[in-house]
Amino acid sequence: MAAAAERVNALRASIAQHDYRYYVLDDPEVPDAEYDRLVKQLKALEAEHPELVSPDSPTQRVSGAPASEFGEVVHRVPMLSLDNAFEPDDIERFDRRIRERLETEDSIAYSCEPKLDGLAVTLLYENGQLVRGATRGDGIHGEDVTANLRTLPTVPLRLVGDRFPAVLEARGEVFMSLDGFARMNREALEKGEKVFVNPRNAAAGSLRQLDPRITATRPLEIFFYGVGFVEDAELPGRHSELLAQLRDWGLRVSAETTVARGAEGLLAYYAAIGARRPTLKYQIDGVVYKVDSLLQQRELGFVARAPRWAIAHKYPAQEEMTTVRDVEWQVGRTGALTPVARLDPVFVGGVTVSNATLHNVDELRRKDVRAGDSVIVRRAGDVIPEVVRVVIERRPAGAVDVQVPGVCPVCGSEVRRIEGESVLRCTGGLVCAAQRKESLKHFAGRRAMDIDGLGDKVIEQLVDTKMVKNAADLYSLSAEQLAGLERMGEKSARNLVDAIERSKTSTLPRFLYALGIPNVGESTALAVAESFGDLEPLQSADVERIMEVPDVGPVVAAAIREFFGEARNRAVLDGLRRRGVSWPIVEAERSTHQPLSGRTFVLTGTLPSLSRADAASAIRKAGGRVTSSVTKKTDYLLAGDDPGSKLTAANELGVRIITEAEFSVLIVARSPS
């Protein structure tokens, strides 16, 4: 038995090393026949000694029965998307923004890699062993596809070496090579089966098979491009070094990665990969640039759902000409109205396109799209198809101009356009059916009203069955009604009713955040609550009064005013109050004396004892305002070490420059004795 165990371990180690050399290093050490012989020996030993079979054995890539559905995985670190660039000017602006934010004139080093047209996934390794794999999903929630990812030969079931982290979440892109795609479709045709349109769809469909045995037959591969998180390990200081480390742990990384400096280096890489694009073994739709220094990445941070330190540079998209049948207005989950062109179907970028976005009313007017027009349609990768331009010389005499709606096509609420925004928005946030599901999901969320047990699937059933039309209806639900829902027993129904009842006692900041007012996040909701104290004075406030709230500008103030100005929103609010939703009146945390009231600050450099966030918080609590750029309206530049270009701007504009010590004295000096 001991001898068998020793031989099994030796065979597994040998096979793993050959996998590493073949898939990761692209440098096989033995011919395929020898590799197959080793695998055959291992299978025979495991069949003879089943007690020696372990999940990380190469013989266990395909195991288990088909799943009825995929489980949900919540990503510990969100899987963010990237901003896109298409023109050289976009890259030059990107590089300039990076240098300005880092306050340096030195050229920035970037890690560059091809942008595969595949499916993003994350793999979790614990003590070197693969324990879970998931799709990107919406960036927060993905699908558990562990069994399917285990079937990929390029996914190691166990990391190489013995110096890997206790926990490693590696991120990569699953794709299908062009040769593999052609071979799979050829075999499907011979069998009379369905063929796929393009490698990207083929990869996505193959990875999401409920039966991993089907996935195992598909020619899927993976390249790893980064890390979500690690435990009990220190990562290298640069992204390029991190990729090399992943490779050393047995995770396959694209051989096309390199480091380039400045916008000039990025554009040279783009051109070089573009020239070789037709000869690559896989499909790409662009390249990705990432600031190489991980320290600088952390300093740059994120905006919305994308990192500031990375960008995808797309190659020119495929375009085709077709005819616009009509233009309709689509209402999104946040109430934004998007004009959508309904087209004569046309084959573009590997798919048949019958709808294309016109983005917003400004784009609609700029392109002057009319029903009956011949238009050029573009599709880049998996980006939503768009109308590029109208072929004016083909415009028919009867082309119909598009009318901008005055009311929401879904709920009839007034449509408004906030000054400075290009978006038309339905003001019926609490009553619009198009926004209903997302509005309720947000309302019930943990950081909002925190209704435990009121998950997405329950909300979807409540809306689909018309049991709930707005947030106030939640507080009239009975356990008997809820028990009739799918997968909802009597006990679960009673628990949910109790959770809804508990949520009636909330706080004003949570309640304001729960309403889902455009541009009102948690911090803004807190600031508004502290300024107004209760809901009634906020409902009757005009834009000027709302703008008195610290850090609330005209766009946010207008959004708040528009929300409370919609009569049907107010009716829902009245319904919530009648059903018992309440909160204590907010007492402002700030003192009545605001020593820095009316003063505008800009921060730069490294302060001796305060972080920038702490300094900004202190300024706001003292009634001051913090902005990111030095202008004539700036009162003080709070400067630390290595201040950068903001110091130059302050000197040129005559803005007073102060140190941290002077800042502390300033607060004391302006305070009452």
β-pair type (336-348, 318-331): antiparallel
| Contact assessment for residue 604 and residue 639, using Cβ atoms and an 8 Å cutoff | yes
Say what the alpha-carbon torsion angle 502, 506, 512, 515 is, to the nearest 10 degrees: 0
Tokens coding 93: 């602006």
Among 509, 511, 512, residue whose Cα is nearest residue 587: 509
d(CA 417, CA 557): 13
- For tokens 């009203």, name the residue: 449
User: Nearest 5 degrees, angle CA 623-CA 625-CA 628?
Assistant: 160
Q: Using alpha carbons, list the distances in angstroms from residue 162 to 154, 209, 250, 288, 322.
A: 20, 33, 11, 31, 58
| Contact assessment for residue 79 and residue 120, using Cβ atoms and an 8 Å cutoff | yes
Q: How many helices (H) and strands (E) does the chain have?
A: 24, 24
Q: How many CA atoms lie within 13 A of 369 on its CB side?
A: 30
d(CA 221, CA 213): 16
Distance of CA 355 to the CA centre of its chain: 24
Distance of CA 187 to the CA centre of its chain: 37
User: Nearest 5 degrees, angle CA 581-CA 584-CA 585?
Assistant: 120
d(CA 287, CA 381): 12
Contacts of 16 (CB under 8 A, 6+ apart): 58, 156, 158, 160, 250
Residue 516, by phi and psi: left (phi above 0), alpha (psi -120 to 50) or beta?
Answer: left
| Contact assessment for residue 565 and residue 427, using Cβ atoms and an 8 Å cutoff | yes
Catalytic site positions: 115
Among 64, 250, 244, 255, residue whose Cα is nearest residue 150: 64
Residue type for position 427: T
d(CA 663, CA 657): 10
Among 4, 60, 13, 21, residue whose Cα is nearest residue 38: 13
Tokens coding 183: 């071979």
* Secondary structure (DSSP) of 499-562: HHHHHTB--HHHHHHHTT-TT--HHHHHHHHHHHSSHHHHHT--HHHHTTSTT--HHHHHHHHH
| Contact assessment for residue 414 and residue 427, using Cβ atoms and an 8 Å cutoff | yes
